[in-house]
Amino acid sequence: MNNQISVELSPYAEVVQGFKKGTMKSSKVEISESKKKIFEEAAKAWKEYLATPEGKVLETDISKSDLNGVRQKISGILNSGAFKLLKELLEQTGLDAGSFSIGLNIEAELIIGIAATIGLAIGVGDNKGLASSEFITVALDEGIDEGALVGVQFGLWTNSPSCLGGYAWATEADGGVVGELAGKIVYKGEDDDDLLGVTVEVGIGEEDGIDEQECYTFIIGSQSGAGDGFLKPAYQPVKSNFLIIKSVTCNNTQSDGVGNANEVYFKFQADGEGKSYYYPTYDYMSMQDGDVWYCGRSVWFNSSVQVGLFDSDSIGNDSDPIGNFTINLSNLTLNSIKTFTSTVNYNSGLDHVDYTIQVELVATNVSSR
Amino acid sequence: MNKHSITITSITCHGTSESGHDEVYLICQSDAGLPIRIPASINTNHPMEKGDTWSINQTLNYDYEVLVTLWDEDLSYDPNLATYLQSIDFAAGTLGLGSGVIQLTNRNGANYSVSYNLLK
């Protein structure tokens, strides 16, 4: 069980909700001998890697990792001696592929089941030496375990590493890709029959039996600087108690030298654990003296919630704190709104900063969603 | 089975947050759970300008509250680049059953009214 990575995958999972099922894509494709050799060697190397001291603890490591931890783990895997021959094969000239990828398949249960592949792609063939990219591919699945590692995926793609993003169809390859290796043929888009690539998957434990999958790939980072970057989660696992930050009141803005308004957003963390959530999840709300922002963001917590209020002079920069609020369960009464004032004084010289937040405790002792 | 259901029937634009259209989409989050995007398909939105009404008819189920956030999708799909317009918190016990309208404004000129029907 890995709640943290499930939460971090949740914003990527949002896109799969509009997915449809079924397609008429061909499930047979000719695979060149050089590609077959790469897939065979990749699968062999993966088994060797799992037998190394590092490989033996991979599953446990992933079960404790956050998304960043998984990314770092993937970068390290190819450095294992087990992949030496595979890397030599990928170095060959004239290879009929644009990129090669290795990704860890992780399943998450977020009301709907999600299959995610968190991976790294490198340029091969004519694209050798091009910038590598990191990606997250998400698809609908009947998730079996929260944040569980279920296998590895190797891919050979027609595109360069930074051009693997977007919508695609994956169809189970008839009779496997190479021998008994389970594989998928991936097509770019619903209307475009262009082949995007071929993948093989080596499972840890239960095999994935999905025949067809609509999926979406996010490029989350690349050496070339392109990519969507990380998406922020809004989904929160259930805890015992539930409150709503009903509103933020601006009694006096911070004078930031940029107009009369503050560009307000807040972040919160429940019970001093896990990552912080933002509201708005992106961007901000412009506020001036006397404004009330009826934000209405709800929060699951056990005993306390820490809320930081910020003036976003540059988006995503927490550099201008304008309020800090500590909400303890003991301060709240069920179905009653309480106003909190900042526990930190952000006044500076003649600049008087005054924001309050209004909080309602809505439910207590909740057992599950 | 959730305790409450509300249908977002339509949204009417009385003013946009930028010149021309706002490319509007909604993120609806029930009880801090997995958000639903409207329109559901990625890279889709509903361009709106003053006088436009977007018929939605999406029912949302919840136990305690559902937070509906209006966004302006300025560029291709990347929420990091979206503009927050406003939000409504439909909390249990705060509205009577039946139809109603809530007006939302912000300091950038966005002015929208959201029509709903609280079913239970």
DSSP states along A82-150: GGHHHHHHHH-TT-S-SEEEEEEEEEEEESEEEEEEEEEEEE-GGGTTSPPEEEEEEEE----STTEEE
Which helix (DSSP H) or strand (DSSP E) does residue A205 occupy? none
Please give the structure tokens belonging to residue A356.
């309050």
What residues pair up with A321 in beta bridges, in sequence order? A310
Give the three-class secondary structure for A169. Answer: strand
Give the three-class secondary structure for A201. Answer: strand
Residue A314's pLDDT is 56
What residues pair up with A203 in beta bridges, in sequence order? A151
**Rounded (10°) CA dihedral A65, A67, A70, A76:** -120
- A3-17, A45-59, A194-208: which range is least confident on average? A194-208
* Helix A33-51 / helix A84-91 crossing angle, nearest 10 deg: 160
* pTM score, whole prediction: 0.86
Q: Test A286 with B29 for CB contact under 8 angstroms.
A: no
**Percentage of chain B lying above the pLDDT 90 cut:** 82
Please give the structure tokens belonging to residue A210.
């999905």
Closest by CA to B8, choosing from B61, B58, B44, B80, is B58
Say whether pLDDT at B116 is over 90.
yes
Q: Is B75 on the interface with A (CB under 8 A)?
A: no
* Helix A67-77 / helix A3-13 crossing angle, nearest 10 deg: 90
Q: Test B91 with A236 for CB contact under 8 angstroms.
A: no
Alpha helices for chain A (secondary structure H)? 3-13, 33-51, 53-56, 58-64, 67-77, 84-91
Task: State the best of A3, A17, A238, A298 to mutate against chain B, taking most chain B CBs within 10 Å.
Answer: A298
- What does the pLDDT look like over A245-296, one tens digit per residue? 999 999 998 877 667 889 999 999 999 998 899 999 999 999 999 999 999 9
Cα–Cα distances in angstroms (integers) from residue A317 to residues A277, A310, A312, in the given order: 14, 9, 6
**Percentage of chain A lying above the pLDDT 90 cut:** 43
Q: Test A282 with B84 for CB contact under 8 angstroms.
A: yes
Which helix (DSSP H) or strand (DSSP E) does residue B8 occupy? strand B4-15
Chain A nearest C-alpha distance from B53 (Å): 23
Query: Which candidate from B35, B78, B89 shows the least CB-CB separation from A234?
Result: B35
Q: Mean pLDDT throughout A64-72? A: 86
Write down the domain spans for chain A: 3-222, 241-363
- ipTM score over 0.90, yes or no: yes
Q: Test B67 with A294 for CB contact under 8 angstroms.
A: no
- A11-20, A83-92, A329-338: which range is least confident on average? A11-20
Residue with the bigger pLDDT between A191 and B57: it is B57
Q: How high is the mean pLDDT of chain A?
A: 85
Residue A20's pLDDT is 62
Say whether pLDDT at A225 is over 60.
no
How would residue A66 be classed by pLDDT, with cut points 50, 70 and 90? confident
Residue A350's pLDDT is 73
Q: Is B80 on the interface with A (CB under 8 A)?
A: yes
Minimal Cα distance from A232: which residue of B? B80
Residue A235 and residue A6: Cα distance in Å, rounded?
9
Residue A21 and residue A301: Cα distance in Å, rounded?
37
Q: Which residues contact B26 (CB under 8 A, 6 or more apart)?
A: B8, B11, B37, B38, B56, B58, B68, B69, B70, B71
Helices (H) and strands (E) in chain B, counts: 0, 9
Under 8 Å between Cβ of A251 and A289: yes
Q: How far from chain centre, in Å, is Cα B11? A: 7
How would residue A223 be classed by pLDDT, with cut points 50, 70 and 90? low
- A2-6, A150-154, A258-262, A315-319: which range is least confident on average? A315-319
Q: Test A110 with B80 for CB contact under 8 angstroms.
A: no
Residue A227's pLDDT is 47
Which of 3.40.1350.10, 3.40.50.970, 3.40.50.2000, 2.60.40.150 is the CATH number of A241-363?
Answer: 2.60.40.150
Number of domains in chain B: 1
Say whether pLDDT at A15 is over 50.
yes
Residue A176's pLDDT is 66
Q: Mean pLDDT throughout B20-29? A: 95
**Torsion angles phi and psi, residue A59, rounded to 5:** -60, -40
> Could you please report the per-residue DSSP string of B66-111?
EEEEEEE--SSS-GGG-EEEEEEEEETTSS-SEEEEEEEE-TTS-E
Under 8 Å between Cβ of A222 and A133: yes
Say whether pLDDT at B100 is over 60.
yes
How would residue A109 be classed by pLDDT, with cut points 50, 70 and 90? confident
Sheet of B4-15: strand order equals B53-62, B4-15, B111-118, B98-105
Query: Which candidate from B40, B64, B82 shows the least CB-CB separation from A242?
Result: B64
Q: Amino acid letter at B64? A: Y
Q: Test A229 with B32 for CB contact under 8 angstroms.
A: no
Residue A356's pLDDT is 97
Say whether pLDDT at A154 is over 90.
yes
**Which residue range(s) make up the domain with B100?**
4-118
Please give the structure tokens belonging to residue B84.
């927050």
Say whether pLDDT at B82 is over 70.
yes
How would residue A221 be classed by pLDDT, with cut points 50, 70 and 90? confident
Residue A259's pLDDT is 73
**Percentage of chain A lying above the pLDDT 70 cut:** 85
Q: Mean pLDDT throughout B22-47? A: 92
CATH number of the domain where residue B107 is located: 2.60.40.150
